[in-house]
Structure 1
């Protein structure tokens, strides 16, 4: 089987889509699939082309045995919708030619959405190559963009919705990253086959019982400090202000400290808020590589997983959950709906608090920090749940057999 993965985001970038797709590609290759990737020059999340990739229109490389074909993309660090669309459509254009002339023959094309518009390139390539289109939806777009206020143009929203529906119809298989996404698409297209392709944990990479770390000592934290970790994009959807407000409530407990690691559009704003609130119990760190994450997580006592209180996010499962589960780190989950049902009610991997409710978050932090036994129990249950349902090896194996059905 020859599989072409078409995605705007791929390592060496760090992020949910990047890690998930690469981990899937590596595992499918081990199962005998000939996997190739067409992607953009790496630039996320700083919106700046990485060193070593600049001033190049195209490039070929190999990452962990996966052949990767890169093409030019327009990049500007701007929140303007025009600049964002130029970013998306530049890669739609260049990815089409990279896929047509450079990637060879394919039996199936797996297209990652968002960005939704990349589906245009994927659809045309599927026709030229006579390959089946597998459309992988990690976020319901344009619905999420509208509800977050990122796109307000009715014309653009209408065109995007028609494109979304067309791509679903033209695909031989539609995949959804969450059960909520699967349910949404299945409800709108009852005759379309929709497959649940969840994110998961690389359990062979995250080994909590073997992890050693000097991270606390290196950054001046004491062994009695209770460290709460947030790692990921510093964006609008996450509602990270709840962490700063909870930290304000906990100023009288100096051993409780919040670690915020990552980059994103609200990076400067959040740091400014920290200064305004005079918070000495919140520290910001740059993102680290995947190889460094086990040592970082091994130094933490709990993870905070926040999202804004929107109905849209009741079907969301933040990818940062899985690393914490794998490392036996209990989670404080500020997400309602599917994530709460899976990881709190079923998996018993942590405690839930109402999204954007800083008083509720502070209360759960105090509860965990005062009960080491509870932390250990929740952490053990987290790992067990990940092993049972969210092992990336199992996820890839099941997906491989689903692809075999389509190819036949």
Structure 2
């Protein structure tokens, strides 16, 4: 099939998990014999449209205003214009035979217009990889009011994005339940897990590892990598670092960007943490090598969430056979999935005592870390391999195309 993959952030410049996942999906689809074109915005490009190649993947980049790490008004304006700017840039290159299917990723919620334009011109079907129930999570977090004008504005584009999809893939059973409670049964949905290439990175030398750079050679490193924002409730993990100050060999390393970077550094200073390091984002290749050098993969989800996310960062931990340590909102099925598969310890956000107890168990027992890391890798292979995810999406696109032709 000739496939358009649409995402608002892509490699090589992106440090976000979604960009990495989409690139791995593109490579897997190409390895399976499909023709892939990624369509993605770029900031500050002189031309309206450029075509590039990344690891053999064809990438169409259209010019856009900044949508990452900028103030909320600027971001909202530029995201609103994504579909308009994208279609203006690519439409001279899209004929009725250019694409047989569209796979698009949310966030962003603003690609519905672009997807509809491609579908109409190419008479093809689409698959929405829905990873984030926006704007619901910002309403849950109290950042905007349920019935405010801005909430209604975002919900309009959210529904437009859903309406453009022939199938919507959500990452967990609980997320699917929440989606149906909000939207009824009007949209065709299914479970589509997050995914990863299951090949780990092997470090042949420790000469320039993150341990050596930061002089952490004999430490047990608890690592958090990715978005540092409100949805993660980073103060939760900072309290854990504070509560483990007495553990001389424990060190907390956070790498990433987001709205709460200032908060975590402020707390570290306020609490005079000596077991904590923050570094800004690194590229994906460097990130993989860091994952191969640490001991425990950390994550946190805000207790205010009603959606039940599976953070993509966990896949990176699992690829490297790292035990997972974290806390989630009440009822999140990720807790049972990880705990029952002996892939790590997940507790409920707010239970600081339980989180500390789990962290200490991993600190004190290297063989437990190894055992749970092995469980994490097995869980990855069984549930989150990119090969099965790609095959599922293709089957769905072909099924809806065949239904359409036979109707």
TM-score past 0.5 threshold: yes
Alignment-derived partner of residue 365 in structure 1? 359
Alignment-derived partner of residue 6 in structure 1? 6
After superposition, give the CA deviation of every residue in 1:16-39 in whole Å (9 maximum; x if it has no partner). 211111111111122122211211
After superposition, give the CA deviation of every residue in 1:23-69 in whole Å (9 maximum; x if it has no partner). 1111112212221121100xxxxxxx4xxx64443322111212111
Could you list the runs of 5+ residues in structure 1 that have no partner in the other structure?
42-48
Partner of residue 194 from structure 2, selected from 193, 196, 199: 199
**1:148-167 to 2 correspondences below 5 Å:** 148-152=141-145, 154-167=148-161
Shift of 1:244: 1.8
Alignment-derived partner of residue 318 in structure 1? 311
**1:8-407 to 2 correspondences below 5 Å:** 8-12=8-12, 13-41=14-42, 49=43, 54-75=45-66, 80-104=71-95, 105-152=98-145, 154-186=148-180, 188-190=183-185, 192-204=187-199, 206-207=200-201, 212-213=205-206, 214-223=209-218, 225-313=219-307, 315-336=308-329, 337-345=332-340, 347-407=341-401
Q: Does the 8 A contact of 2:168 with 2:190 survive in 1?
A: yes
Q: Secondary structure at the match of 1:99?
A: helix
Structure 1 residues 262 and 356: CA distance shift in structure 2, 3 A: farther
Instruction: Give the alignment's TM-score, normalised by structure 1.
Output: 0.89
The whole-number CA distance in structure 2 between the counterparts of 1:167 and 1:262 is: 28
The whole-number CA distance in structure 2 between the counterparts of 1:28 and 1:283 is: 38
Q: Does the 8 A contact of 2:223 with 2:252 survive in 1?
A: yes
After superposition, give the CA deviation of every residue in 1:313-366 in whole Å (9 maximum; x if it has no partner). 4x1101111111121111112124121121112x21011233144333222221
The whole-number CA distance in structure 2 between the counterparts of 1:292 and 1:196 is: 31
Could you list the runs of 5+ residues in structure 2 that have no partner in the other structure?
403-407
The whole-number CA distance in structure 2 between the counterparts of 1:305 and 1:338 is: 15
Instruction: Give the alignment's TM-score, normalised by structure 2.
Output: 0.89
- Over the aligned positions, Cα root-mean-square deviation in angstroms equals 2.3
The whole-number CA distance in structure 1 between the counterparts of 2:196 and 2:6 is: 22
The whole-number CA distance in structure 1 between the counterparts of 2:155 and 2:392 is: 30
Q: Does the 8 A contact of 1:57 with 1:72 survive in 2?
A: yes
Deviating above 6 A after TM superposition, structure 1's stretches of 4 or more consecutive aligned residues are none
Q: Does the 8 A contact of 1:81 with 1:151 survive in 2?
A: no
The whole-number CA distance in structure 2 between the counterparts of 1:390 and 1:221 is: 31
